[in-house]
């Protein structure tokens, strides 16, 4: 079955970096773009952007430029989110989600289980 | 900040019908399709409705979606205890050139 499995929780100090992985299985990885979504504690969902799994070209949403980097390793069907210069406000659960397109419409299905990144000194 | 507005909460007794609204603008809901996601407590979001009113395989038919103008709605008929969750609408925004989520609605089964 189609599945996205993310790496485990991370506890980092302010100023450090973190790399979250999202391993896809059950489908051709390069046939579907991958998106990233952030959810701060007790808050709603926030779209971070997406990466073209064919070309590796990333697109970042407003507010997620500079410290956030999307990357791929297509040999292992895995997408990555790296966040540098971590701040306390980066504490959140980060989700990857495959986007499915049909007739000019797109939707996220499935989602990864989420990775909690906690930034604390 | 979210540009799609949802009521923060909705509730009903088992068997009742609950409706959640999602209000947007001409650049998002008015121009593009709406999807709905269900997030059960402590879990990842799950696709509930796509392309305004389509149910993925496995989603009970008590869930339905609709869209009119710059607003969309999710209806849950025959409310069940397992429907207690947060619900989010989402649509592409042509002005922002990005995806926007709704503010989210917490559904409580009384």
CB atoms inside a 10 Å sphere around CB B41: 8
Partner-chain contact A45 B104, CB within 8 Å? yes
Query: Checking DSSP bridges between strand A46-51 and strand A115-119, what pairing results, if any?
Result: unpaired
Q: Which two tokens stand for residue B34?
A: 């709406």
Instruction: Determine the pLDDT at residue B46.
Output: 98
Answer whether residue B16 shows pLDDT above 90.
yes
Selecting from B46, B56, B101 the residue whose C-beta is nearest the C-beta of A45 gives: B101
The mean pLDDT value of chain A amounts to 97
Per-residue pLDDT tens over the stretch A92-102: 999 999 999 88
Question: Residue A34 forms beta bridges with which residues?
Answer: A51, A98
Shortest Cα–Cα distance, A61 to chain B (Å): 6
Answer whether residue A73 shows pLDDT above 70.
yes
Which B residues in the span 2-61 are in contact with A, Cβ-Cβ below 8 Å?
A: 2, 32-33, 35, 37, 43-47, 50-51, 56
Instruction: Determine the pLDDT at residue B38.
Output: 98
Answer whether residue B2 shows pLDDT above 80.
no
Instruction: Determine the pLDDT at residue B3.
Output: 87
Answer whether residue A105 shows pLDDT above 90.
no
Q: Could you tell me if B72 and B82 are in contact, meaning their C-beta atoms sit under 8 angstroms apart?
A: no
Partner-chain contact B104 A44, CB within 8 Å? yes
> B77-102 burial, b for 16+ CB within 10 Å, e for fewer?
eebeeebebbbbbbbbbeeeebbbbb
Cα A79 to Cα A4, A39, A59, distances in angstroms = 10, 18, 14
Shortest Cα–Cα distance, B3 to chain A (Å): 11
Instruction: Determine the pLDDT at residue B1.
Output: 61
pLDDT band at A103 (very low <50, low <70, confident <90, very high): confident
pLDDT band at A87 (very low <50, low <70, confident <90, very high): very high
Selecting from A46, A47, A105 the residue whose C-beta is nearest the C-beta of B51 gives: A105
Tell me which chain A residues have a C-beta less than 8 angstroms from the C-beta of B96.
Answer: 62
Q: What are the φ and ψ backbone dihedral angles of B105, each rounded to 5 degrees?
A: -130, 125
Per-residue pLDDT tens over the stretch B47-84: 999 999 999 999 999 999 999 999 999 999 999 999 99
CB atoms inside a 10 Å sphere around CB B30: 14
Contact B90/A at CB under 8 A: yes
Answer whether residue B8 shows pLDDT above 80.
yes
Q: What are the φ and ψ backbone dihedral angles of B81, each rounded to 5 degrees?
A: -60, -35
Partner-chain contact B96 A62, CB within 8 Å? yes
Q: Could you tell me if A26 and A47 are in contact, meaning their C-beta atoms sit under 8 angstroms apart?
A: no
Per-residue pLDDT tens over the stretch B24-55: 999 999 999 999 999 999 999 999 999 999 99
Q: How far apart are CA B42 and CA A102, in angstroms?
A: 30
Partner-chain contact A95 B100, CB within 8 Å? no
């Amino acid at each position: 079955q189609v599945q996205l499995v993310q790496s485990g929780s991370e506890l980092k100090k302010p100023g450090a970096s973190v790399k979250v992985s999202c391993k896809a299985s059950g489908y051709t990885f390069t046939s579907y773009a991958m998106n990233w979504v952030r959810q701060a504690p007790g808050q709603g969902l926030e779209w971070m952007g997406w990466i073209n799994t064919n070309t590796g070209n990333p697109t970042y949403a407003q507010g997620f430029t500079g410290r956030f980097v999307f990357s791929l390793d297509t040999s292992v069907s895995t997408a990555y989110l790296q966040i540098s210069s971590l701040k306390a406000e980066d504490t959140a659960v980060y989700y990857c989600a495959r986007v499915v397109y049909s007739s000019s419409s797109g939707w996220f299905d499935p989602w990864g289980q989420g990775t909690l990144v906690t930034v604390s000194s | 900040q979210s540009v799609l507005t949802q009521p923060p909460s909705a509730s009903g007794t088992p068997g009742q019908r609950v409706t959640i609204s999602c209000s947007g603008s001409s650049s998002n809901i008015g121009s593009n399709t709406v999807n709905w996601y269900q997030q059960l407590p402590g879990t990842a979001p799950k696709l509930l409705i796509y392309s305004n009113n389509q149910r993925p395989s496995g989603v009970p038919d008590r869930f339905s979606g609709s869209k009119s103008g710059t607003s969309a709605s999710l209806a849950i008929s025959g409310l069940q205890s397992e429907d207690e969750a947060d619900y989010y609408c989402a649509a592409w925004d042509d002005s922002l050139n990005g995806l926007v989520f709704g503010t989210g609605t917490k559904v409580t089964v009384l």
